Amino acid sequence: MDEIAQLLKAGRAAQWSAGDKLCEAVKGLPRAERARVFREAAVGAHSTVAYIRVIWQLSHYFAAPHRYEHVAQALYRACIAAARRTKQDPVAVLQTALDRGWHVSEVSALGRAAKTTRTLETRCPDCDAEVRVTMQGEATFPPIPCPVCCAIAWADGGDGREAARLGTLGGEA
């Protein structure tokens, strides 16, 4: 297992080195020329332009002192994306993430509005089923037909319109 770990570490080091070479190759080039260099590198490496761009981005934003052996490249990419959303330096975002012990999902949440949900948990007055419905957003939702009553109605040949209504989400029950 140690040999496998060493090979994986060597692969990551090679990616950083390739990224550094890409940074040198595209330094000062306009965007169109940079894209040409990325395409040529992708063809030569039998890879995708997106992968080449990621390697370049990692080396571009994170200089040698900020490359840690124990940090996954997914965290570096999440820091770049979060830095763009929050208008911060990617290195500062990385340092904050490391100081606070954040995972990729926590870094990815930076600068995004918190998701809000409304949940209705009730018992249907007709079929006595316990029903839980969760919806995204802040809106007030109309009374919801009981899904069990709808299934029973459909099985009996009805269309479910006569199904019991279960309160409202965000409004009066």
The pLDDT of residue 135 is above 90: no
pLDDT in tens, 12-33: 899 999 999 999 999 999 999 9
Quick one: how far is CA 47 from the chain centroid? 23
* CA–CA dist 136, 150 (Å, integer): 22
Structural domain boundaries enclosing 87:
63-114
52 with 19, same domain: the answer is yes
How many alpha carbons lie under 13 Å from residue 19 in its C-beta half-sphere? 22
Confidence of residue 83 (pLDDT cuts 50, 70, 90): very high
- Enter the pTM of the model: 0.66
| Number of structural domains the chain divides into | 3
23 with 48, same domain: the answer is yes
Confidence of residue 118 (pLDDT cuts 50, 70, 90): confident
67 with 56, same domain: the answer is no
Confidence of residue 103 (pLDDT cuts 50, 70, 90): very high
54 with 4, same domain: the answer is yes
36 with 19, same domain: the answer is yes
In a domain, 172, yes or no: no
44 with 86, same domain: the answer is no
Q: What percent of the chain has pLDDT above 90?
A: 54
> What rounded mean pLDDT belongs to the chain?
87
28 with 83, same domain: the answer is no
* CA–CA dist 108, 83 (Å, integer): 10
In a domain, 32, yes or no: yes
Confidence of residue 88 (pLDDT cuts 50, 70, 90): very high
Max Cα-Cα span within the chain = 72
* CA–CA dist 172, 166 (Å, integer): 11
- What is the arithmetic mean of pLDDT over 61-71? 91
44 with 87, same domain: the answer is no
Q: DSSP per residue over 25-58, as a string?
A: HHTT--HHHHHHHHHHHHHHHT--HHHHHHHHHH
Distance between first and last Cα of the chain: 60
pLDDT in tens, 43-64: 999 999 999 999 999 999 999 8
49 with 100, same domain: the answer is no
Quick one: how far is CA 106 from the chain centroid? 10
Confirm if 122 and 133 have CB atoms less than 8 A apart. no
User: Hey, what are 58's tokens?
Assistant: 């990692």
